[in-house]
Copies of this chain bind each other. A is one copy, B any other.
Amino acid sequence: MRAADRIEQALENAISIAEGRGEGLGSEFGAPPLLVAAMRHAVFPGGHRIRPQLCLAVAQACGDADPVASNAAAVSIELLHCASLVHDDLPCFDNAATRRGQASVHAEFGEPLAVLTGDALIVLAFETLAVSSAPARRLLPMLATIARSVGSPNGIVAGQAWESEPAVPLADYQRAKTGALFVAATIAGAAAAGFKTEPWRALGATLGEAYQVADDLRDILCDADELGKPVGQDSARLRPNAALQLGLDGARCRLEGLVQAAVDSIPGCPGVVELREQIKAQTEQFFPKQLSRAAA
């Protein structure tokens, strides 16, 4: 099965747990219909699924000895990413009315359900790992890695919280807010395949940084229709933005350098050649169209 299909299927299985339709779960009663509708709205249709794609790509490069484990890791990471988008879009943060080209969760379902949808997706991310049939020796380290990439001090929740501090250490902010889940993707992918994990940290960290620069460029270059969410948010909110700091050409150079560094950082593994090509192809996805390397 193609990685993209594996991801969508595994996400569907996860959401079915929250709907009380999960296999063998012995659900006692039904789920609140609006909550599960809002959870579906937050997860489907997805964006590029960059993080779970990365997780599965690393697992496959390492032989993917346990696809149940790599699927669970990929899904958990994507659910946590979706949860963070739902909460980031809330009125008290970005107050974004659109996301992925449709109404944001709070715009469609109201603020109470948006708060609860984010909460439920976080819980479901961990439940997906806990009920996976993958062996415990793989699941618990993956769980710890993924939890750290979302919590405090190193994860995306801490990253978002830096925006509420009077002084923001920029590198910490970006590593936590964007980098952490990319690191979780590469580390969990390797862990799922039974490989040593630390050599895979640099790939995730570097891709996370590249993604942040690309996102900064998109915030300036794209229009809202193309992006599916409001643009110009960084300058409006005085958030640091690489394209504002380095200029367009400077940011493009930085982005290309990071992608090359990411490719170069890939540790030895059975599928190293294919993974290099995949990383290059996947990073094309998050280059803003106006800056795609074909046009450069």
A interface majority secondary structure: helix
Which among A47-55, A133-141, A211-219, A286-294 touches the partner chain?
A: A133-141
- Nearest neighbor of A15 in chain B, beta-carbon distance: B152
A124 CB–B CB distance under 8 Å: yes
Interface residue range, chain A:
35 or more
A136 near B140: Cβ-Cβ < 8 Å: yes
- Nearest neighbor of A83 in chain B, beta-carbon distance: B119
A161 near B34: Cβ-Cβ < 8 Å: yes
Q: Which of B35, B116, B137, B164 contacts A35 (CB 8 A)?
A: B164
Closest 9 CB pairs of A and B: A31-B153, A136-B136, A127-B147, A123-B151, A35-B161, A20-B153, A130-B143, A92-B111, A130-B144
Give A contacts to B, CB under 8 Å: 17-20, 25, 27-36, 39, 83, 87, 90, 92-93, 109-113, 115-116, 118-120, 122-124, 126-127, 129-131, 136-137, 139-140, 143-144, 147-148, 150-155, 157-158, 160-165, 169, 172, 175-176
